[in-house]
Amino acid sequence: MVTIQGLHKKFGKNLVLSGLDLSISAGGIFAILGPNGSGKTTLIKSVLGMVIPDKGDITVLGKNITQNSDYRHQIDYLPQIANFPSNLKVRELIKMIKDLRKSTKEDERLIELFKLTPFLDKKLGQLSGGTKQKVNLVLTFMFDSPIIILDEPTSGLDPISMLRLKDLIQTEKEKGKTILITSHIMSFVEEISDEIVFILEGKIYFKGTISELKTKTNQPDFEHAIASILTDNHA
């Protein structure tokens, strides 16, 4: 589904990705974790074609992404921070994105799921952070692509919306989709992930299940396993 080989990326003198190799199979939920500055966002943006690596190859759905940009239509992406015009109404934004993509599925069901009907005629600049995030989730999930990338999807969500998001992610997984998630909320990651991809200093430090990570680090729970990696590598 997604194959990355020998990925290098520098920003000035700062080496962010250092020969990163990663293979993500079709179907399942993969959490991409790592400390701040480890290269998570650079990795995601490289897959999306938003960052051009200095070296390495990325293949998505069997095609090298440098040879054809059409693969992007097969990815639904939730950015960590989505900046939309503050004077645009929620209804107008949803229509604009639908017109751009020229295909949609269940925006009305998602609007109902996240209880956004009362906000449809409000301007984006008037919304709280949590409500904006719900709008972003509708924009991400209203299309039917085989790959979904979610960068900090729980940001600003209340507990009920968090539960709805978890259910939504599981529903998409059951359709055979491949879902990549970054999150700082370890309980959320532990509950929904099939595999963990832990990035450290621009390389893959670990890829596998949470139980395999606990065995590798000899820790009783997920949070201690993550803390153990960070402690061992900053000792």
pLDDT, one tens digit per residue, over 159-180 is: 999 999 999 999 999 999 999 9
Question: Rounded CA gap, 75 and 72, in Å?
Answer: 5
205, two tokens: 């430090």
Start-to-end Cα distance in the chain? 36
Beta strands in the chain (DSSP E): 2-11, 14-24, 28-33, 55-60, 63-64, 75-78, 147-151, 178-182, 195-200, 203-208
Give residue 184's domain range. 2-232
Q: Which residue has the tokens 């074609």?
A: 49
Share of the chain above pLDDT 90, in %: 74
Instruction: State the chain's maximal CA–CA distance in angstroms.
Output: 53
Domain count within the chain: 1
CATH number, residue 37: 3.40.50.300
Residues 88-106: pLDDT tens digits? 999 999 998 888 877 666 7
Are 24 and 179 in contact by the 8 Å Cβ rule? The answer is no
Share of the chain above pLDDT 70, in %: 98
Is residue 122 very low, low, confident or very high in pLDDT (cuts 50, 70, 90)?
Answer: very high
- What value does the mean pLDDT take over residues 214-230? 91
Does the pLDDT value for residue 235 go beyond 60?
no
